[in-house]
A and B are shown apart, each in its own frame.
Chain A
Amino acid sequence: MTDPLLSIRNLTVGFNRNDRDIRAIDDVSLDIGSGQCVGIIGESGSGKSVTALASLGLLPKQAWFRGDILFDGSSILGASESQMRSIRGRQIGFVFQDPMTTLHPLHRVGDQIAEAIRVHNRGISKAAMRERVISLLEDVAVPEPHRRIRAFPHELSGGLRQRICIAIAIANRPKLLIADEPTTALDVTVQRHLMETLEDLIGRYDMSLMLISHDIAIVHDIATDVHIFLKGNVVESGPVDRVISAPEMPYTQRLIAAVPSLDPDQKRLEGKAQSATSDTIESRAASVEPLKRRSQEGWPASAPLLSLHRVSKHYGNLPRGQEDNLDHPSFAVRDVSFDVHPGECHAIVGESGCGKSTLLKCIAGVLPVSDGAIRYKGDIVGADRRSLPPHFREQVQMVFQDPYSSLHPRMRVFDLIAEPLRNLGYGQEEINSRVLEAMNYAHVDPEARDKWPFQFSGGQRQRIGIARALVTRPEFLILDEPVSALDVSVQASILNQLNDIRRLLDLTYVFISHDLGVVNYVAERVSVMKDGRIVETGDRRDILTNPQHPFTQQLLEAAPGKSFYEHLRAGRGQGSQEQSMAD
């Protein structure tokens, strides 16, 4: 075998922070050969992004390192800044995670692509430059390149912006492309097309690829070799099929078992090692005042707890005569009807901008509806902000998407969880016992009551968010993408916990998600939303195995990791039993 294109040798990178030495990666070695696609999989904080930045010599100033990275035989970490500048962008292209922030907001995208070319080709003529930029835009399948060349980033969708970023990365036909979570911020259908473009370009221009992702399924679709990162170490390496179907290391096995699949007979997910099972939930529950079966008192199981009848919502004022025109772009929610029965988990699936968040705010009584009616136990919700059904604020609670921004950074955990009760006017003694109870259900360590949010990881923060929702002893939880900001193993344990809590406390959920795998794991009923309308509602199994609407089919088709799930099922020996729609 010839020398690898990129060779990371015994690389250790550390940061000095407040006299404490934190190692981002420890003794990592890996090779990428010419034309090879190598995947790097790890959860947040596993050191995968540091590895990528080190490969470009872009480590932050405070970082120290040991070991070396060889690119084409010469040292990267030993190179001077000017040598590195001639490598960056010309020999190695880089695609970053978030296309919303990686493009300069004040320069036209054409100029940003042109800059990448000009840096390495001084004196190129204006006409030649324009031609090259346009051909690059064609390469990355940006429609109407002649027009887009003059666009500013904010005028483009996330998918188009990421295509621009790819055009910048491949502008000088680099030998190696490093893509750090290139599709994480995008909708699945967009993600699918983008990965296809990327795969096509790599083949066409004979590039090597380092694909960094937390998503095993995406890596599996494209990479030949894979390295699993855990806390700064490579714990397992090898050909992707072998690692996925027969993982040797316990961590890899757990990671794979934590991914929610589209298999309608999905088994219980493997959460993080220390995550509790349902018996511990029950034993914890037994230690506090029992409140089982308290909910939905006096409400028949056959009647819908929540019922939406032809709900529409628009923002701003509609032009005269357009009040009933649901196709007017001001409408975010269009003629939505569905029922949620007691004890059920009803999922709403859709891509960004489909109106699911607006719908959810209407259900929560935060936004008044424009038309139609939302009823909770038969009482109208959301006709206007003040008239909510009796005890609605107590009975309906919400869990938010981003556990980093949904907790006030200057409030202690106890106060965060207690706040809903304070707003409802409970006494201190009641508050104390209820907060303790909620912390128990949500698996928040009671010792944590006086800590601050920043002292917790994403998963722990989301548990605090769940405790805050449970503290009023609600009957109904509205969950807005509660796990989309979390790592896959944390996601699995939170999902398990949410399932356990629902069964134990007899709760009813409305669960918003963009991830069909997650929905498959938690929901009984599924509504698929597109452009403000519900295009299809049905039982989970029907939606997954027999989707009627083309958009649902498209969503299922676009879900990443088809080959991954096939492998997974083959590995578990149950592939023949079920015909999953992932096929």
Chain B
Amino acid sequence: MLRTIAYRLTGIPLIILGLLTITFILTRGIASDPIYGILSIRELMNEDYVALVREKYGLDEPLIVQYFNYLWNTVQGDLGTSFRTRQPILSDLLAKTPATLELIIFSLTIAGVLGVTLGCLAARFEGSVLDVTIRAVSLVGSSVPVFWLAIILLYLGSVVLDWFPGPGRISQRIAPLEDGTGFFLIDALVQGRWDAFQSALRQIMLPSIVLAWSILGTITRLVRASMLDAMESDFITLARAKGVGSWAITLRHALRASLLSTITILAHVFGYLLTGAVLVEAIFAWPGLGDYAIESARALDYPAILGVTLVSGVTFILVNLIADILYTVADPRIRQ
């Protein structure tokens, strides 16, 4: 098993190289000259200045040279400087990534727990009113556009009902947290800041409900389907012939057998969440990667775009690696 993981790890640099290459070609080959993102219109009039700036950012080199420069710098840990924030991309990313991961993991937990529960219930009572309701709701859930739901929930939850605070990651009124992991919920707990924890929790609820909702239907339906598949198996009939009760059959036998596909489903929707977070962060003013990606794209800030791509790519690869490791934990047949 260790060998399999080591083998997978050696593949990661190759995948990342491909990812960066494609993104580089897409952003530089198709988008317009990044110089327009760096300089104002007035500055662009001054040709000498433009040439100077081009040289400073290495934009005067042929594209292929820029590409290899970029790769070489990336390998050394230098992702370049943002045209927009004038900060090193790396420090920008380090500041933004925890916010997004916190949001995604929180959403995935909600959707995972809820989706597996609903999927189990629907499969256990297949064909009943409960099953039909759950299926209908998941279908509607997957059909509702995320941005629409986000705006409606924001309006209802925070304006009309005033149950939740407005956009943002933590209330401006409380003293800021000290630097830590960047995961506010964790930092607040570690630093014993109950007020900050409450605030962060209240702030994360709405955006994560929106994100969770967007994947809940998929999880529910796939878990239900794999549970029903498992229920058809001979070993379920054997369990019934043993005299095992129907709940024990659902949980100990069918759900256990569906565990592999559940892991696959969760790893798969993680990718959706990475994309979905972009919209949700923009609407909820969540200072994460998605927000950063949108602003960078607007500003033609290509080193930042490449940086976001790199982080998302690496995250996605790591999630799949974790899923692979979980497979071997869940299934003794893969362990060999």
A residues contacting B by CB (< 8 A) are 56, 58, 81, 84-90, 93-94, 96, 98, 101-107, 115-116, 119-120, 152, 154, 165, 168-169
A119 to B244, CA, bound (A): 6
Query: Among the listed A88, A96, A102, which residue makes an inter-chain contact with B243, where contact means beta carbons less than 8 Å apart?
Result: A88
Q: Would A96 and B238 count as touching, CB distance under 8 A?
A: yes
A81 to B240, CA, bound (A): 11
A-B contact pairs, 17 of them (CB 8 A): A58-B240, A89-B241, A89-B244, A93-B241, A98-B234, A101-B234, A101-B235, A102-B237, A104-B256, A104-B257, A105-B235, A106-B256, A115-B252, A116-B242, A116-B243, A154-B332, A168-B242
Ranked 5 nearest A-B pairs via Cβ:
A89-B243, A88-B243, A94-B241, A89-B242, A101-B234
What is the distance, in angstroms, from B246's C-beta to the closest C-beta of chain A?
A: 8
Q: Would A102 and B234 count as touching, CB distance under 8 A?
A: yes
Question: Given A96-B234, A105-B333, are A87 and B243 also a contact pair (CB < 8 Å)?
Answer: yes
Q: Would A152 and B238 count as touching, CB distance under 8 A?
A: no
Q: Which of B234-263 contact A (CB under 8 A)?
A: 234-235, 237-246, 252-253, 256-257, 259
Chain A residues whose C-beta falls within 8 Å of the C-beta of B246 in the assembled complex: 81
Q: Would B238 and A168 count as touching, CB distance under 8 A?
A: yes
Given contacts A94-B241, A106-B331, 6 further A-B contacts (CB under 8 A): A85-B243, A88-B241, A89-B241, A101-B234, A101-B235, A106-B332
Chain A residues whose C-beta falls within 8 Å of the C-beta of B330 in the assembled complex: 106
Chain A residues whose C-beta falls within 8 Å of the C-beta of B239 in the assembled complex: 104, 115
What is the distance, in angstroms, from B128's C-beta to the closest C-beta of chain A?
A: 11
Q: Would B257 and A102 count as touching, CB distance under 8 A?
A: no
Q: Would B241 and A58 count as touching, CB distance under 8 A?
A: yes
Chain A residues whose C-beta falls within 8 Å of the C-beta of B253 in the assembled complex: 104
What is the distance, in angstroms, from A403's C-beta to the closest C-beta of chain B?
A: 22
| Closest residue of A by beta carbon distance from B240 | A58
B181 on interface, CB distance cutoff 8 Å: no
Question: Given A89-B243, A104-B257, are A58 and B332 also a contact pair (CB < 8 Å)?
Answer: no
Interface size class of chain B, counting residues whose CB lies under 8 Å from the partner chain: 20 to 34
Q: Which of B234, B246, B330, B331 has the most CB of A within 10 A?
A: B234
Q: Would B241 and A56 count as touching, CB distance under 8 A?
A: yes
Q: Which of B233, B241, B253 has the most CB of A within 10 A?
A: B241
Q: Would A106 and B241 count as touching, CB distance under 8 A?
A: no
| Closest residue of A by beta carbon distance from B241 | A94
Q: Would B240 and A102 count as touching, CB distance under 8 A?
A: no
Chain A residues whose C-beta falls within 8 Å of the C-beta of B233 in the assembled complex: 101
Q: Would A96 and B237 count as touching, CB distance under 8 A?
A: yes
Chain A residues whose C-beta falls within 8 Å of the C-beta of B332 in the assembled complex: 105-106, 152, 154
A98 to B330, CA, bound (A): 24
What is the distance, in angstroms, from A274's C-beta to the closest C-beta of chain B?
A: 34
Q: Would B244 and A102 count as touching, CB distance under 8 A?
A: no
Q: Would A103 and B238 count as touching, CB distance under 8 A?
A: yes
Q: Would B235 and A165 count as touching, CB distance under 8 A?
A: no
A98 to B259, CA, bound (A): 23
What is the distance, in angstroms, from A198's C-beta to the closest C-beta of chain B?
A: 17
Chain B residues whose C-beta falls within 8 Å of the C-beta of A106 in the assembled complex: 256-257, 259, 330-332
| Closest residue of B by beta carbon distance from A93 | B241
Chain B residues whose C-beta falls within 8 Å of the C-beta of A94 in the assembled complex: 238, 241
A89 to B241, CA, bound (A): 6
Q: Would B257 and A105 count as touching, CB distance under 8 A?
A: yes
What is the distance, in angstroms, from B124's C-beta to the closest C-beta of chain A?
A: 13
Q: Would A104 and B243 count as touching, CB distance under 8 A?
A: no
Query: Among the listed B235, B252, B256, B333, which residue makes an inter-chain contact with A103, where contact means beta carbons less than 8 Å apart?
Result: B235
